[in-house]
């Protein structure tokens, strides 16, 4: 009986997700899980610029789970933008992406008649609905 390695197509089983952070916040983490055989090489991009060797970003990999993670130790306004993780092996390429929103401060809106203020910790997302439907803006 002979054994041979089985190839597994590149698949992100967990995609990157959009994230929100405050300017000056510590440790923002973006993570995804990629499955493939043979094991892929992975590159990270911020606004289409490769950041694999950047001192500003820390990149880690857990081989037991396939989890890839990019960590920003000290998040600033310049970190806002599109992040992309690209996996490649001999059988192809796959990618996942997200957007990091960096808030310069918390927006406040006066609460009607009470003299108190509402605070929005995240920007309100656009939402398309049909009449009678509901929409969650967070």
Q: Does some domain include residue 95?
A: yes
Could you give the CA distance from residue 59 to residue 43 in angstroms, rounded to a whole number? 9
Count of domains observed in the chain: 1
Q: Does some domain include residue 83?
A: yes
Q: Does some domain include residue 30?
A: yes
Measuring CA to CA, which residue among 39, 35, 46, 33 is closest to residue 84?
46
Q: Does some domain include residue 3?
A: no
pTM: 0.71
Residue range(s) defining the domain that contains residue 94: 8-105
pLDDT reading at 67 higher than 50: yes
pLDDT band at 32 (very low <50, low <70, confident <90, very high): very high
CATH number at residue 65: 2.60.40.10
Q: Does some domain include residue 42?
A: yes
pLDDT reading at 111 higher than 60: no
């Amino acid at each position: 009986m002979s054994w041979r390695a089985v190839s597994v197509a590149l698949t992100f089983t967990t995609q990157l997700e959009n994230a929100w952070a405050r300017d000056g916040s510590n440790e923002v983490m973006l993570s995804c899980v990629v499955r493939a055989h043979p094991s892929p090489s992975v590159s990270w991009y911020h606004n289409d610029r490769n950041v694999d060797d950047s001192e500003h970003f820390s990149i880690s990999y857990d081989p037991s789970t396939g989890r890839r993670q990019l960590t920003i130790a000290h998040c600033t306004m310049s970190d806002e933008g599109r992040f992309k993780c690209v996996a490649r092996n001999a059988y192809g390429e796959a990618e996942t992406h997200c957007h990091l929103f960096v808030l310069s401060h918390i927006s406040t809106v006066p609460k009607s008649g009470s003299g108190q203020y509402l605070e929005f910790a995240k920007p309100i997302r656009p939402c398309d609905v049909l009449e009678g439907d509901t929409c969650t803006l967070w």
